[in-house]
Every structure is written in structure tokens, then in C-alpha cells.
Copies of this chain bind each other. A is one copy, B any other.
Amino acid sequence: MDKKYTIKDIAKMAGVSKGTVDRVLHNRGKVSPTALEKINEVLNVIDYEPNLIARNLKNTKIYRICVLLPDPEIDPYWLPCINGIQEAMTEFKAYSVVIETHFFNPESTKSFLSTNNNIIKQSPDAVLIAPLFHKETLEIVKQYDELGIMVNTFNNQIEAESIKGFVGQDLYKSGRVAASLMNLILTEGQIAIIHIDESLKNAVHMQEKEKGFRNYFDEKKIAGFSLTTLKLKHPNVETKFSAFLEENPNLKGIFITTSKAYQIASILSPLTNKKIALIGYDLVEKNVNFLNQGLVHFLIHQNQKRQAYLGVSTLAEHFIFRKDIPETILLPIDIINVENASFYVS
């Protein structure tokens, strides 16, 4: 009995017109108690689900969703997001949803703010932002809120009242996953946690990963490990890291909290006498190359493509199908080694 009931069916059953049924369904008022009761009686018996196709056919409003994304030309980490957004675009192009991507320079808060101003000029119905800069994000989120523009975030979690949803990963747990893998490769020795980031913009991001990583070893109470944290900034990565290597000749493992593992791997590459376990993040091309060469042992996949896809698709489905936007979507922490990498590169 999964017959599809229409408003007309309900009207006939309740002995009223479809207009009245419509008013009841949408609480538009102007309905007598008698009619209300009759219609409710019918609604209680049958299981009415409005036909979403018909609803959207009439809808002439075009929903505009803007995505605020760091320029993938500057940081290729964001490249897969383009594919995810593209996928959402083709999926929703049948409906009246327009998705626009705006790039900003991930090293410049100014660029972040000015690109946001451009977006506001487009007066979108919703935005999906990669909130790299904490303070600035709070500012613009406030602005969007005042303009009644819905805000969804991904990649970074930022606490703000008016942010409707977040798509990302549990970074603390992903640090633990990295640690568990490291603990599998090594049974003891010195491990370095390296943060490589040109501008230290997403410091919280990396700290969460470090916390999780350290917590794993603390919890296990394994004696033989010692953990050291190292922060490297462009353009001193190579010199500082080489110095660190000399000072710590017994280094056994490295955990890189950003997608820049390839920078470390390329320095270690010529040092064939050293055997250092390397665990990093993200399937950017250079990382995968070193994974295939055996220099990088594991990569943790942050699934940016799907993050971006879900970020916009939840918004689109909110407008089209009136679905709720999930407050938090935590994607799985995919463990990648040389054997299964090919299935994840998009």
C-alpha cells in the first residue's frame, strides 16, 4: 500500500477543495475548524508526501550558492574540492540552483575578506566557506547572518551561533590514527611531529592532530618513545629540518600534520642510509609519488572532494527538498598506503 496520494485525493476524501487542503498543509490560516478537522482526519489515516518534482517545477526562484575556496593554484590541497563542487553542480543543474566558486589567496586575510565582499555583492542565498582565518571568519559570518544568508563551513571547524553546518573530520582522532600506524611501524625511538605551514593560519587544525597523536602514546604508556614537536615555515623548511636531522641522528619517525609531507620526503630521499617512518596527510600528487616510492608509509585522506561536495549538496537539498542541514558531518579517516591509494585519487 504505497499509493501516492495527491492534494486532490485528500480534497476529495475530506470533501473540500484542494485550495483548502493546501491552506491546511501550509498553515496559511483561513480555514474553518470543521474543515480543518475533516482534513486532519484524512491526513492521519493516509501518509501524504508532497510530490517534490511537481513542487520544484513551479518554483521559479533560482537559488544561488557561493563557495569561498582557497585558490588551488596557490595550494593544491584544495584542488579536489573543485571536483566535488563540479559534481554537485551537475547533480543539481536540473533544479534551479546556481553554484559559484570564488577563490581567495590562502595566505592573505585581506584576500579572504575582499573575496567575501564580492560574494556578498552577488547576494547569494547561501555560502559554503573554508574558514581558514578564525577572527575574520567570525566577522564575515556575522555579516552574512545580518543579510540572512545561510552559512555552511567545511575543512575547519569554527564555533559560531549562525553557522548552520560543518563538514570535516575529527582531527584529534585522525592524530590518533596516525599514531596507531606509527606504533605499528616502530616499536620505539624518537618521533618528530612536524607542522609545515607557510603562514600558520590553521594552527588549531594542526594542534588538534598533535594532541591526538601524543594522546595515543601517552595512553598506551609505551616507554620507548620520545616525541618532539617541530614547526617549519616557508622558506626555511629545508635548512631548519636538515639542522634538526643532524641534531637528532636517531630520529625514527615523522608525523607531518599538513599536506606537505612531500617536502620532508624530498629532503630524506637522497639520505639512503636513513630509515625514517613517514606519515602525512592528503593524496596530493607529490605525496602519492613518494608513497609509491616507499618514502612515505601512510597518508591520511581528508577527503576534501567529498567535504566540498557535501558542503554544497546539503545546502542545495535544503533549498530544493527542504532537508535539514546536518550540524556536523564527520567523514571517515581513511588510511592510505601504497596498495590502496589508487582507489582514492579522484
Binding site for B on A (CB under 8 A): 2, 4, 49, 51-54, 56-57, 93-96, 98, 170, 173, 176-177, 179-181, 184-185, 216, 321, 330-340, 343-344
Q: Inside 8 A of A96's CB, which chain B residues have their CB?
A: 4
CA distance in complex: A335, B297 (Å): 14
* Chain B contacts for A52, CB-based, 8 A: 94
Could you tell me if A57 and B49 are in contact, using CB atoms closer than 8 angstroms? no
Task: Give chain A's interface secondary structure class.
Answer: mixed
Closest to A340 in B: B333
A180 in contact with B53 (CB, 8 Å): no
Most buried by B among A170, A184, A339: A339
Q: Closest CB-CB distance, A207 to chain B, in whole Å?
A: 19
Q: Which residue on B lies nearest to A89, using beta carbons?
A: B2
Residue of B nearest to A56 (CB): B53
From B2, B57, B333, A343 is in contact (CB under 8 Å) with: B333
- Kindly identify which residue among B4, B173, B330, B337 contacts A339, using a CB–CB cutoff of 8 Å: B173
Q: Give which listed residue, B57, B98, B332, contacts A340 with CB less than 8 A.
A: B332
The reply to whether A177 and B51 contact each other, CB–CB distance below 8 Å, is no
Residues of B within 8 A of A54 (CB): 57
Measured CB to CB, the nearest residue on chain B to A52 is B94
Is the beta-carbon distance between B57 and A338 smaller than 8 angstroms?
A: no
Residue of B nearest to A51 (CB): B94
Write out the residue numbers on chain B whose beta carbons fall within 8 Å of the beta carbon of A94. Answer: 49, 51-53, 321
Residues of B within 8 A of A176 (CB): 339
A254 to chain B: closest CB distance in Å? 17
Instruction: Note all chain B residues with C-beta closer than 8 A to A332.
Output: 334, 340, 343-344
In the bound complex, how far is the Cα of B332 from the Cα of A51, in angstroms?
A: 35
Q: Are A337 and B340 in contact (CB under 8 A)?
A: no
Nearest CB to that of A177 among chain B residues?
B339
Q: Which of B177, B185, B216, B334 contacts A184 (CB 8 A)?
A: B185
Known: A53-B57, A56-B53. A340 touches B2 (CB 8 A): no
Kindly list chain B residues whose C-beta atoms are within 8 Å of the C-beta of A98.
2
Q: Lowest 9 CB-CB distances: which A-B pairs, in order?
A: A332-B343, A335-B335, A52-B94, A177-B339, A333-B340, A180-B339, A177-B340, A53-B57, A176-B339
Knowing that A49-B94, A53-B53, A177-B337 touch, tell me 6 more A-B residue pairs with CB under 8 angstroms: A4-B96, A170-B343, A177-B340, A184-B184, A332-B340, A335-B337
Contact of A180 among B2, B56, B95, B338 (CB under 8 A): B338
User: Which residue of chain B lies nearest to A342 when distances are taken between CB atoms in the complex?
Assistant: B173
Distance in angstroms between the alpha carbons of A93 and B52 in the assembled complex: 10
Bound Cα distance A82, B184 (Å): 35
Min CB distance, A109 to chain B, in Å?
A: 32
What is the distance, in angstroms, from A51's C-beta to the closest C-beta of chain B? 7
